[in-house]
Structure 1
Amino acid sequence: MRRLRWYWGALVLVSVALLVGLFVFFGSESKTGQPQPRQGPPGTGPLTVVAMGDSTASGEGAGQYTPATNGQGGDWCHRSPNAFVEKIAVPGITAHVNLACSGAPAGQVALGGVKQWTEGSQAQQLAALVKDHRVAAVVIAVGANDDPKFSNQVTDCFKAWFSPGGPPCSEALKQSWQSKVDAMVPKVTAAVSDVKKVLAQAGYVPADYQLILQSYAAPIGPDVPEELRSLNGCPFRVEDLRWISQTGIGVLSSGIKTAAQRTGARFLDLAKAGVKHEACSGGANPATEWFTRLTLQLADLGQADRAGHALQESFHPNAAGHTAIANCLTEFMASREGNASCLAGADGKLHPAPEVVAR
């Protein structure tokens, strides 16, 4: 009988030890038996949404640039308090940080030594930020300043308007645009991968944050009133504007979507976001437009260090455009999964439409 009691006592002790071991190995569980989910991003500090990339994200064209990025010490990143990242309204997110820089190539978003207007790697800036911020979302807009060199193409189209006897700028672009976009894709892919690497090194797992790669909107459409196809507004040929808005922007968006697929980022397509709100589309009433017209800062022409940037704001989303994009982004982030396209709804505002609907 004594030996039997010893046997049962030993069995109880072994069972207790096993239960303790399982508790330590698997952690505590909820009452339903399911593991407790992580409570958001790791670390300390406010929940934060971060914008990275080029002028589309920095706020170029939206005005009121921070002094430090408005030419001070050679920094022309043009970050604006009117940029879309400042207007994203997601419950729980209380901090908005803009690391984007006007004109930035993918290499400056990535880790490494590439600089833009005196500023170093945006990914390295993000690495410093996560020390005292909990990053809930990163929105990236980049690629147009790499092989496509979109601003250079706009300049070439501007020159074509001055030479009515010569070929339209779209004639050459039709031959080279796809190859330029194809060459851009691996650079954007590398930049987004570096952003993921920085967050992983800080202890983040993919479920901790949203990673969004967005494309670009066509700043000008083909239906510009004739009186505004001039230096008073949008000096471009109709055939060039038609190709840019109907073909060029779409090809660029497809390339960026490929980079999103390769990195596991969500993709938000802005290719049709500006329809009926492009620069000069409002005619005599520019208040309906979401993009700047040809913009010349006359005061800058008298200063040698600023004269070269007097036209920098031209053909970028203005403050109203950034508000519209922020509305779409806010709803897109709330959905938390899938890709979408920003399209105007019956209320006139931009909303994220599932890709199948957008097509």
Structure 2
Amino acid sequence: MKVLHVSGAKSWGGNEQQLLYLVEELEKYEVEQYLFCYENTPLHQKARDFPVKIKTIRKSKPYSTRYAKALSHLIREEKIDLIHLHTSDSVTGFMVTDMFHSLKTPTVFAKKGISSRVSALSKIKYNYRNINRIMCVSNYVKRNFSPYIKKKNLHKLVTVHDGVKVEKFPAAPVFTLREKLEIGEGTYLIGNIANHTKAKDLSTLILMMDHLVNNLSIKDVHLVQIGEFSRLTNELRQLIETRKLKDHITLLGFTENASSFLPQFDVFVISSIREGGPTSLIEALYKKTPVISTRVGIVEDAIVDGENGFSTPVGEPEALAQKIKLLKEDPALAQKFRELSYTTFLNNFTAEVLGKQTLKIYEDVINDYK
């Protein structure tokens, strides 16, 4: 089987890591894989170390003639059996290319998240007749995406969770957070890994700390937030300053292998208002770090509130703070969360499971296409 992965990613994130995990898993089943992506992107650079043949194109609009010619040529030259679209703009590129070049190749699309709004054009492309399956990363995404899919196409929606590779020798962190940031052992270390985007709602994370420190008078806590800075970062810094939390919050910025820091956290907190995953949640389950999260993405599939973690409504910093207080005061509960979450991870969220489920969908789509 020859599979072509198509991605328009220009930066690095959990979705790109998932693509490479999938590449590794599919190799075990002797799937010959190709990657069509933009040149000199983080995905292009990192994919060089993986078992996939790479075809790059200079950054251009996915509906451009150059894009369509390059994609159609690759599909025909390599006799691709199935196309796997990994980003929304790759769906645009595929649809335009198919309309002008009649690709006649089975195609699946990985739907990784929910946008704040869906345009009329997006509704058209997601319902495009030659997309054979839409693989939703969680039941949350599937449920929230369904209203934009025509009734005749709803059968195309399936749920395939992200997965994390089980490492025999996990990468060691480049430094110890407590040492680097001079945080004492008696301080409760709260962690978050998220780039500075609106969907991550990091202001709620800061307001959570405000409630803990200034309203509940819990001073022995420190939040370490890891993630790529953006135009929103200054607003977050101003909020930290206004709430007098400079001694309790560190914005660390982008850090390589951020998930390697997870075991150093006493608790991992997610404040997002929209998510597909996130992959960081799965990594926390794997690293046995207790999780408190808003109810987004795979949270409802991975966390049973009070059993193996805590979940709260979106946009309620006080609720997150109360859960942290409860967990901080109950080490036995934290240990229970660690063990049960790890079991949940092994059963449902490994890269091995991702590979098997994806391959089965590939086979079904190809068989249906014949």
Provide the TM-score with structure 2 as the length reference: 0.31
Provide the TM-score with structure 1 as the length reference: 0.32
Q: Which has the higher strand share?
A: 2
